[in-house]
Chain A
Amino acid sequence: MLEFIKIILTPEFLFSVIRVMTPILFAALACMVFIKGGIDPIGIEGIMLLASMAGPVGGYYTNSVIGGILAAILISLLASLLFGYVTLKLKSIEILAGIALNTLASGLTIFIIYYVAGNKGSTQSLTSKVAPIIELKIIKNIPYIGKILSGHNILTYLGIILVFVLYYILYRTPLGLRIRSVGENSAAAESVGINVLKYKYITLIMAGTIAGLGGAYMSMGYVSFFSRGMIAGRGFIGMAAEAMGRGNPYGIFLSSALFGIADSLATQLQMLDFPSQLIQTIPYIITILGISIYSYRHKKVRKVI
């Protein structure tokens, strides 16, 4: 037990929580925007996978980090808009279109990396472009805290900044109000003269960009290459984090952090001779607990009203 507490209090552990949290945060924020605009986020996994493939490939062809990140954003925008076109214009069912998108992504990414890198497993044969690590000037020198907060990937900081930016956009601007009203009741929004389709597409563009950044982080920050299936459910966990965060950017930040803690904890505890099967269930138990607590409180609130 002492050993366990010692590990948890190390700055390395808390640093790793932030690292693990980042892709989940991006996924959850993208899901949040999707849901706010009234679009089902089930395709998030596939969109992020496509982006994580496009990052290293784009970086290789343009020979720059920016080029890679732009390629990741571009392809996830395309995937997101394709999803929008199929569901909004062609009126197909969102769940099916989302599942189709995820399936397409898992096959297409392998096809493309085989074409580009000559290997169906990963893009390690391409010279890797990695988004830079940022040392925070003053915070870096604070003992203990500096070691936790400084030295993360630039995309991690971007994700945290996005929490505030998105809160501002969604709750403090006319654009955000329209997106939310379209999502909550599109008929009502239409009746007051809001162009529903336009705001749905804006939602798709915003969410696609965020998902693209999350995908880029996986292959250009977390690790330095794309490998097949590397999102490994983080998009879906993002959906759960969104639900747990009650659709609020700050809540989502906290729930993503909770997932980060659960996941890092699982990694650490394993080394201390706990049964690994049990430990690997921790993140899922936390999901169930979180959602239960959320719905319990929700129920109480409704009763009061």
Chain B
Amino acid sequence: MRGNQFKILIGLFLVAVLGLLVSLYYYNKPHVDVKHSEAAYILTVQNLIDEYQTDENESDKKYSENVIQVQGTVFEISTLKGNSVITLKDEGFESSIICHMLPEDNKRALQLKMGDEINIKGICTGYLMDVIMVRCTLVD
């Protein structure tokens, strides 16, 4: 009898520890690792902008919070608070895709020139005057 009670106690204890570990894991779960994530959509700059300008709500449902990859021409490279910002834009168009790069991509971003054709993977957060992407990384 005492043996059984002891086993139940041990069992309850294990369940409690497991529960604690699981909740700790969720509480501390890391941000999406863009570098090692598969892009949900691969598009050109103008395709993505066109979709947003045609139907912002639908595009938001489709792309925002997803890892997406865009291909386009470098229009501007700047830095903001120590991180690179790459603007992709086609000639003659008003809107662009503004890509806020991951800190580890700074060096590679600074080697780019205006007019370079590049691929960038990142998380889309939506559309203001331009499509905004964060946690971006260059794709070879």
Q: Do A and B assemble together?
A: no
